Amino acid sequence: MRFRWAGFLILALFFMILEIVVRYYPIHFLEQPEIFFINLKQKFVESGSGKEDIIVLGDSRSMALPGYSSFNAPYSVYNHSLPAMGANYYRSFLDKYWRSGNKPPKMVVFAGTSFLYSNGYGPPLYDQNGFGTLKNESLFEYIQRRWKEGLKRKIFGSPKVDIIQYSGKQRDRDQMLWEFFGHRYLHQFSFLELMDQYKGVERIFILAKSAPLLYHSYKFRGAIRNASSLENWSVSQNWRAKLEFCEACENIESGLCKPSISQREDNLVIEAKIQKDSGKYNISNRLRPEIIAFSKLRVAEEYKNRTEVELKKASFPAYDFSVLLDLKRWADEKGVLLGFLYMPWIDLAESWPETQDRKKKLIDFLQKNQIPFFEFPAAGYPSYQFVDEIHYDCRGEKRLAKEWEETVLPKIFSFLISMQKSN
């Protein structure tokens, strides 16, 4: 009996020491790149060191926009876009940015893609595809609905549908979506922050997912796993030179800029790139050239075939701009200007009647609510400047950055200057 207790105490002591080490050692440098990226942005916001005049909010497409220091421009700019965080992220992020002691920005520029600004807040996290419900439910409503559906699924399961299984873990589409993107919610916001953000069944769902992460040894389990390999600790002496080398698209396209096999070195490169470009990071530059080439061909063919069907559309869905309205209310309450930036998409998709209808109604909504509208010289880029239907390739990114610096930012700066003079 004494031996059994001794074994239990040794095991408990081991996990206690591991938890302390993980909490106070920068173990996130050994995490997978996506989780590292989210934690890096989270630590920056919570540090209270943000002092930029303009902050950009969006998704993985707008992550390609570089920030600027006020040394090079009238105002400093920082890109706080995060990949696939959903519409709930924006207001919650701004609240966190504000209470963390960062310098209040003069302007917030929203640059999210259409499904983030025109579809409201969408179905709840526990039913992301809306198979069971399109709105968050109270516990009573949820129990009633699930009772009628029968007990054929787990508590937060969704109807079985045919999906591509990327591992043996995804039993349904919602589970697949959560496994791919869920860590972005859980690593960006704490348990208490998530409790404050959500209500009803959605709160129960997100807190059940967040509770295990209160233990950092679980939260960074991937980093602990990677720490067992000496290869992941190694850092080459010339890793900083890779930053400049990989600014050239030809080096990326030739496959010379693939992520390092050392997880620590790869994350150091990511951190340095984000610091250098004030938040910008074009994630498609990490892909292997053969994957990019295959994806481009698929996208070009898909959009070419789809365009003929889309051009025949005569009716369009109702758009819900409540996300933008909530951001406007937040900005007015805090005394901050809100602007909207229309990000270039694939040119074929931009020619579709539904896209044009949505854009027209968007501009009408922005004018009615006195939100300035900014756009690039061309609303559409050719499909070969994308690696998929969302992300720019290196040359698309370079074009975007050039037009952003030479055309769009001067308009934003001029607007900000005129507004400050009028006040």
pLDDT per residue over 164-199, tens digit each? 343 334 445 556 566 667 788 899 999 999 999 999
Calculate mean pLDDT across residues 292-320. 92
How many domains is the chain partitioned into structurally? 1
Which pairs from 384-388 meet CB under 8 Å and 24+ separation?
Answer: 384/296, 384/300, 386/296, 386/299, 386/346, 387/284, 387/287, 387/292, 387/295, 387/296, 387/299, 388/284, 388/295, 388/299
396-418 average pLDDT score = 96
Q: How many helices (H) and strands (E) does the chain have?
A: 19, 7
Out of 75-79, 88-92, 293-297, 372-376, least confident range: 88-92
Strand partners, 381: 346
Nearest CA-CA partner of 230 in 205, 200, 261, 269: 261
pLDDT score recorded for residue 248 = 94
User: Which pLDDT belongs to residue 1?
Assistant: 55
Which range marks the domain in which residue 57 is found? 2-422
Please tell me the least confidently modeled range out of 6-20, 284-298, 299-313. Answer: 6-20
pLDDT at position 3: 60
Q: Report the pLDDT averaged over residues 236-256.
A: 91
Which two tokens mark 145? Answer: 């609905």
Task: List the single range of 75-89, 95-109, 144-158, 336-350 with lowest mean pLDDT.
Answer: 144-158
What average pLDDT score do residues 351-374 get? Answer: 97
Mean model confidence pLDDT for the chain? 89
What is the predicted pLDDT for the residue at 341? 98
Tokens at residue 400, please? Answer: 């975007």
Q: Sort 286 into a burial class: Cβ within 10 Å, 0-12 / 13-18 / 19+.
A: middle
Report the alpha-carbon distance of residue 12 to residue 18 in Å, rounded.
Answer: 10
Cα–Cα nearest to 68, from 359, 229, 276: 276
Element (H, E) at 245: helix 241-245
Look at residue 392 and give its three-state secondary structure.
strand
Task: Give the mean model confidence (pLDDT) for residues 322-326.
Answer: 95
Q: Within 10 A of 277 (CB to CB), how many other CB atoms are there?
A: 19
For the cut 70, the answer to whether the pLDDT of residue 230 exceeds it is: yes
Which whole number is the average pLDDT over 261-280?
94
Give pLDDT, residue 171: 46
- Whole-number pLDDT of residue 168: 39
Confidence band for 68, pLDDT divided at 50, 70 and 90: confident
Check pLDDT > 80 for residue 115: yes
Residues 365-370: what's their mean pLDDT?
A: 97
Q: How do 337-342 and 107-110 pair as beta strands?
A: parallel
Read off the pLDDT of residues 130-158 as tens digits, 9 standing for 90 and up. Answer: 888 888 999 999 988 888 877 666 666 65
Distance CA 403, CA 23 (A): 42
Least Cα distance to 263 among 24, 28, 63 occurs for 28
Q: Residue 84: is its pLDDT beyond 90?
A: no
Q: What pLDDT, on a 0 to 100 scale, did the predictor assign at position 159?
A: 55
Q: List 346's β-bridge partners, or say none.
A: 381
Question: What percentage of residues in the chain have a pLDDT greater than 70?
Answer: 91
Judged against a pLDDT cut of 80, whether residue 269 lies above it is answered with yes
DSSP letter at 103 equals: P
- Within 8 A by CB and 6+ apart from 209, the residues are 178, 182, 185, 186
- Cα Rg of the chain (Å, integer): 23
- Decide: 335 and 302 in contact? Cβ < 8 Å: no
Scored b (16 or more CB within 10 A) or e, 179-214 reads: eebbbbbbbbbbeebbeebbebbbbbbbeebbeebe
Highest mean pLDDT among 23-27, 75-79, 81-85, 179-183: 75-79
Written as six digits, the tokens of 344 are: 């270039």
* H/E element, 140: helix 139-149
Helix (H, G, I), strand (E, B) or coil at 216: helix
Give CA–CA dist 142/121, Å, rounded.
19
Q: State mean pLDDT over 72-101.
A: 89
CB 416 within 8 A of CB 106: yes
> Is residue 331 helix, strand or coil?
helix
